[in-house]
């Protein structure tokens, strides 16, 4: 007997309970990168009825390691900031004069919308933390967690049963420790000065937990734990991941679950050697499950080994399948994914990251048509 249609929220929550809904939820990563050819319609405007939204809203606490505002909410700190043009880059040089010492950094910001992409990553040529002596001053430029998630709550009320709203909470590395100190230096610190490494990461782990707690206490149901700096693709070994990051993941997950909430763990890199470790932490959703050649995720193996523990989300390669492939390849990829991961629930079809500008409209149509065609449960 066929199932009646579910709301997006019902579909997602049924899937996360590892039960079979009416169809596999369709939740590609949606940002503003992909527009139709005349650049007037966003992806969700074109395909909204087919999408089961898991919208990501940003936290409201400033993260000055990754943002460069004109004014800083740091009452005890004097900030000196200079902007100038260096060839095609905008350069931002900053000095933070705190009661515990002075910190400085330098960042080159490439232009958007050109060969660097729609939202290119900045290039840091000088990091704030150069040694353990900088840690006391660093604490002065980390604002208190604001805990204001009114916009996320309002959006959830507006979205209703169509889907869920998640608040982005960065891991201890993502745009935190990994943006105040060069990641290569952090990897060396693990071996050369472990107490310094532990203190720096511990400082930001406290902030990650505080942000997650504030999200839960504000009544938001979902935390999106943004952890791609922790990825094995960044250069960390499986042994370090197990020793250092697994306890952090488990601590955030346990906190969220203690409030009755849910956690979506984000790593868009290689997961083959870390997926079981992440699943054992109790996270509710693991994304983006990126297949080769960009990642190394084997969907069949993952379904067999961790499919009963965690909901798998993503998988369809945004670059080599949806952007550079053909409609036939898109359909074949979606069909194979559904055949492998659909049975028993626990699968949300999505994408390996946000669909990018330059993606052919016919491939986007093929993606959604295939998701609807092959995702229905009998």
CATH number at residue 176: 3.20.20.210
Is residue 243 located within the same domain as residue 283?
Answer: yes
- Structural domain count, the chain: 2
69 assigned to some structural domain: no
In a domain, 333, yes or no: yes
Pair (109, 155) in one structural domain: no
282 — alpha (psi -120 to 50), left (phi > 0) or beta? left
What pTM value is reported for the model? 0.95
Provide the terminal-to-terminal Cα distance of the chain, rounded to the nearest Å. 8
Total count of residues recorded for the chain: 378
97 and 227 in a single domain? The answer is no
Q: Is residue 86 part of a domain?
A: yes
Do both 251 and 112 map to the same domain?
no
Residues 220 and 160 in one domain: yes
Residue 284 contacts residue 310 (beta carbons within 8 Å):
yes
Mean pLDDT of 200-204: 98
Which residue range(s) make up the domain with 210? 8-61+144-374
Is residue 208 located within the same domain as residue 102? no
Q: Give the model confidence (pLDDT) of 71-115 as tens digits.
A: 999 999 999 999 999 999 999 999 999 999 999 999 999 987 666
Same domain (yes/no): 173, 227: yes
Positions of E strands within the chain: 54-57, 78-86, 89-98, 101-109, 123-126, 164-170, 222-226, 262-267, 285-288, 311-314, 347-349
Question: Does one domain contain both 47 and 99?
Answer: no
Averaged pLDDT for residues 304-309: 98
Question: CB 20: neighbour CB atoms within 10 A?
Answer: 18
pLDDT at 242 over 50: yes
CA 16 – CA 353 distance, rounded (Å): 20
What the block records as the tokens of 274 is 């870390």
> Average pLDDT, whole number, for the chain?
94
Confidence of residue 280 (pLDDT cuts 50, 70, 90): very high
pLDDT at residue 112, as a whole number: 79
Residues 107 and 203 in one domain: no
For the chain, percent of residues with pLDDT exceeding 70: 95
369 pLDDT tier (thresholds 50, 70, 90): very high
Residue 139 lies in a domain: no
């Amino acid at each position: 007997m066929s199932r009646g249609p579910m709301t997006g929220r019902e579909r997602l929550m049924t899937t996360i309970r590892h039960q079979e809904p009416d169809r596999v939820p369709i939740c590609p990563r949606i940002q503003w990168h992909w527009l139709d050819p005349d650049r007037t319609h966003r992806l969700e405007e074109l395909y909204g009825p087919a999408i089961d939204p898991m919208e990501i809203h940003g936290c409201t606490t400033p993260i000055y390691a990754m943002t460069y505002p004109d004014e800083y909410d740091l009452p005890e700190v004097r900030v000196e900031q200079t902007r100038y043009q260096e060839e095609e880059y905008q350069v931002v040089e900053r000095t933070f004069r705190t009661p515990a010492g002075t910190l400085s950094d330098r960042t080159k910001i490439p232009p958007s919308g050109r060969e660097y992409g729609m939202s290119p990553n900045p290039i840091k040529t000088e990091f704030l933390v150069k040694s353990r002596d900088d840690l006391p001053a660093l604490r002065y430029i980390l604002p208190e967690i604001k805990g204001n998630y009114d916009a996320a709550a309002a959006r959830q009320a507006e979205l209703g049963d169509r889907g869920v709203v998640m608040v982005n909470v960065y891991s201890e590395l993502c745009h935190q420790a990994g943006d105040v100190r060069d990641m290569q230096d952090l990897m060396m610190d693990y071996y050369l000065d472990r107490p310094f490494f532990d203190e720096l990461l511990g400082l930001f782990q406290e902030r990650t937990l505080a942000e997650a707690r504030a999200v839960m206490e504000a009544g938001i149901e979902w935390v999106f734990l943004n952890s791609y700096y922790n990825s094995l693709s960044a250069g960390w070994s499986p042994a370090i991941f197990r020793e250092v990051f697994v306890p952090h993941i488990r601590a955030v997950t346990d906190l969220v679950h203690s409030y009755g909430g849910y956690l979506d763990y984000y790593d868009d890199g290689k997961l083959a050697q870390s997926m079981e470790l992440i699943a054992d932490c109790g996270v509710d959703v693991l994304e983006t499950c990126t297949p080769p050649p960009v990642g190394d995720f084997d969907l069949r193996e993952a379904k067999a080994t961790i499919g009963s523990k965690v909901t798998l989300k993503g998988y369809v390669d945004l670059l080599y399948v949806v952007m550079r492939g053909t409609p036939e390849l898109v359909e074949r990829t979606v069909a194979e994914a559904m055949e492998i991961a659909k049975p028993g629930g626990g699968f949300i079809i999505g994408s390996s990251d946000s669909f990018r500008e330059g993606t052919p409209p016919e491939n986007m149509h093929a993606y959604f048509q295939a998701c609807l065609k092959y995702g229905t449960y009998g």
